[in-house]
Amino acid sequence: MAYAMKAETPSDRRRVVVTGMGVETPIGQNPDEFYNNLLEGVSGITEIEAFDCSNYPTFELQRIAGEIKSFSADEWVAPKLSKRLDKFMLYMLTAGKKALVDGGLTEGQMEEIDKSRCGVLIGSGIGGMKVVSDSIEALRVSPRKMNPFCVPFASTNIGSSLLAIDLVSSNLSSSLNLQHLKAINMIFVTDYFPAKH
């Protein structure tokens, strides 16, 4: 007995719609600038300026990084929240909100969207290392000095979680009517062996 497999037509496939894009990178803070710099071969790798690394061994590769030099979260993240978060979290919040604006999502459009089918999707390999490092240093002084947000801020899904929470509570959400967004937080975690995938 022979079986014939039904050919999948393009209309049978599930579709994902990218409504907007937002980026925060060393080579651009908007999709066009980022893409053009990629095409031109611009490198975002420079000497580390965020902290003093002069005490590190003289091996040059230990003193370079892809730092975002001209970053400001002022328009996108509340000042109180901004002071509390690691930079990587600020990058995720800012890029996520830029994606909404880039997608042109207005209040009227958000009312028409099935919010149970909307979500926040951010790829991340690890959470905030600065808060972990600061908490370890504080722990050496006293357990009472340790940041109570250490564990949640170090978790891998903190970026997507914070964006989903912030969209509900920020000024941007009230202007876009996102108070009833039923977001699903997802994380893609990859290891250091991409050839396995």
For residue range 53-98, what is the model confidence (pLDDT) as tens digits?
877 776 666 788 889 988 999 988 888 888 888 888 899 889 988 8
Per-residue pLDDT tens over the stretch 117-176:
666 677 677 777 888 888 889 989 998 888 888 888 888 778 777 887 776 554 444 444
Name which of 14-18, 54-58, 79-83, 108-112 the model is least confident about.
Answer: 108-112
Q: What does the block give as tokens for 68? A: 């975002």
Residue ranges per domain, the chain? Answer: 106-197
Per-residue model confidence (pLDDT) at position 8: 61
pTM comes to 0.73
Of residues 78, 156, 100, 163, the one with CA closest to residue 123: 156
CA atoms 35, 36, 41, 47: torsion sign:
negative
